Structure 1
Amino acid sequence: MKTRIKKMSDDLLWIFYPTLCAACDRPLLMGEECLCTFCKYYLPRTHFHLQSINPVAKHFWGKVPIQAATSYYYFSKGEKVQRLIHKLKYKDRKDVGMYIGQLMGSDMKDSPFPKPDIVVPVPLHEKKLKLRGYNQSDFIAEGFAKSMNAVFEPQMVYRNKETETQTRKHRFDRYMNMDNVFSINKELAASDKNILLIDDVITTGSTLISCAEALLEIPGTKLSIASIACA
């Protein structure tokens, strides 16, 4: 009886206060979660996890020795993927990160992409974390780890200095801005592991390169990189 009453109240709530799709803002139908069915299947996926040589992987060639790199979606200004990421980063939509992370992990589970033992998010500096209240990459990484049965480790790497915004910097300045930014938490460092480093968006890759350099100081580490989107 209680279950039936709860279902009725949930149905009424949905009628008057429908949950909206995080990408297109249309009301979600019963049974849909985070994304409507159309967006779930038709947002612009890259399928780079099926290709060892791809545009995202090329960002890191000759800069840092990784096994593989991929992004799940293509990023275009003003389009649905940008809206999705904006809600994750600035509108407290942590569920978006978890959901997309799980989608990514489910899609990659049976692909050639290296299976991680540990999933590590790119960390925010303490000041930015306090300002925003959360690290969006934590939730992407946690969702991915859950779907892959991997260990989620948000504190293995940390930022040891605050950096200026990368948005208006040229490519070379971005790399210089990220020099020696990250350090390893030695108490959590596990050697001889496949580690997946996760971020929200890949542009030049300078942040990920700096973070990867720190992780590769751990003996025997095999590193891969993934993000929700690539610009």
Structure 2
Amino acid sequence: MKHTLLIKDWLSSFLSLLFPRCCVVCGRPLAKGEECICTVCNINLPRTNYHLRKDNPVERLFWGQIPLERATSFFFYEKGSDFRLILHRLKYGGQKEIGAIMGRYMAAELLSSNFFQGIDVIIPIPLHKKKQQIRGYNQSEWIARGIAAVTGIPIDTDSILRKKNTETQTRKSVFERRDNVEGIFELQHPETLAGKHILIVDDVLTTGSTTLACASCLVDVEDIRISILTLATVE
């Protein structure tokens, strides 16, 4: 066994020399233990710290519309920022593993704030099946996988169905975004979620229209509680 581990370590080191893993932000080789993003770039990513603020701007987007327990976005999504590059590679570059890695980073930092306390199930906002076939994966599900790996909270990808393939929300106004997502989600087997605290997970929060449309599917479920977590928000 020890001999096998030594061979694996040697092979890993050899492959790292031939094909060095590089930070997706700065391009420098990653050190041992670093994933996707080097420590320096990770530290410099623009964090919101909204989870430390009661009645933060993300929570205020959903006040009075759903039975909200708590809500936050972890990073700021700024034009020209390093985080924008990371998200672009996640959504359009085929690098789905970035979602899981960022989900783990985010969850590890949120654990000390008790943000996940009492949450029973994680529901990533679903893509329409056609869009998921084209992309090959749902980036929000991969973010949720990273969160689940740290918290141990199970993921549910079956309860909410995206039944309409909508146009992209980019460049749409607030009102156009709301109209674009109206009635696009459908709840399956609501009885399985009765009495549970649900965490809805998405990649980027802009106006909150898509997230609200998804959460609205759950409001009639008996004794439901809803929290929201997105990887980033537009400042």
Q: TM-score, normalised by structure 1?
A: 0.94
Q: Does 1:66 align with 2:68?
A: yes
Residues 79-129 of structure 1 show CA distances to partners (whole Å, capped at 9, x for unaligned) of 111111111112222221111112222222231425211000000001101
Question: Which residue number corresponds to residue 17 of structure 2?
Answer: 15
- Which secondary structure state, in structure 2, belongs to the residue aligned with residue 59 of structure 1? helix
Q: Does 1:215 align with 2:210?
A: no
Alignment map for 1:192-211 (pairs within 5 Å): 192-211=195-214
Q: Give, in whole Å, the separation in 2 of the partners of 1:24 and 1:188.
A: 48
Question: Which residue number corresponds to residue 94 of structure 2?
Answer: 92
Q: CA separation of 1:214/1:49 partners in 2, compared to 1, >3 Å: closer, same or farther?
A: same
- Which secondary structure state, in structure 2, belongs to the residue aligned with residue 201 of structure 1? strand
- Which secondary structure state, in structure 1, belongs to the residue aligned with residue 202 of structure 2? strand
Contact 1:74–1:230 (8 Å) recurs in 2: yes
Equivalent position amino acid for 1:84 in 2: I
Contact 2:122–2:155 (8 Å) recurs in 1: yes
Shift of 1:144: 0.9
Alignment map for 1:121-136 (pairs within 5 Å): 121-136=124-139
Alignment map for 1:141-220 (pairs within 5 Å): 141-186=144-189, 189-220=192-223
Q: Give, in whole Å, the separation in 1 of the partners of 2:191 and 2:135.
A: 25
Shift of 1:42: 2.2
State which of 23, 27, 30 in structure 1 corresponds to 2:29.
27
Equivalent position amino acid for 1:48 in 2: Y
Aligned length in residues: 231
Equivalent position amino acid for 1:4 in 2: L
Residues 132-172 of structure 1 show CA distances to partners (whole Å, capped at 9, x for unaligned) of 11000001112112211211112221111111111121111
Question: Which residue number corresponds to residue 41 of structure 2?
Answer: 39
Gaps in structure 1 of 5+ consecutive residues: none
More divergent stretch after superposition (210-219 vs 110-119): 110-119
Superposed CA RMSD: 1.6
Q: Give, in whole Å, the separation in 2 of the partners of 1:177 and 1:188.
A: 28
Q: Give, in whole Å, the separation in 1 of the partners of 2:199 and 2:11.
A: 42
Q: Give, in whole Å, the separation in 2 of the partners of 1:2 and 1:147.
A: 29
Q: Give, in whole Å, the separation in 1 of the partners of 2:221 and 2:26.
A: 42
Q: Does 1:109 align with 2:111?
A: yes
Q: Give, in whole Å, the separation in 1 of the partners of 2:33 and 2:122.
A: 29
* Ranges of 4+ aligned residues in structure 1 off by more than 4 Å: none
Q: TM-score, normalised by structure 2?
A: 0.92
Q: CA separation of 1:138/1:172 partners in 2, compared to 1, >3 Å: closer, same or farther?
A: same
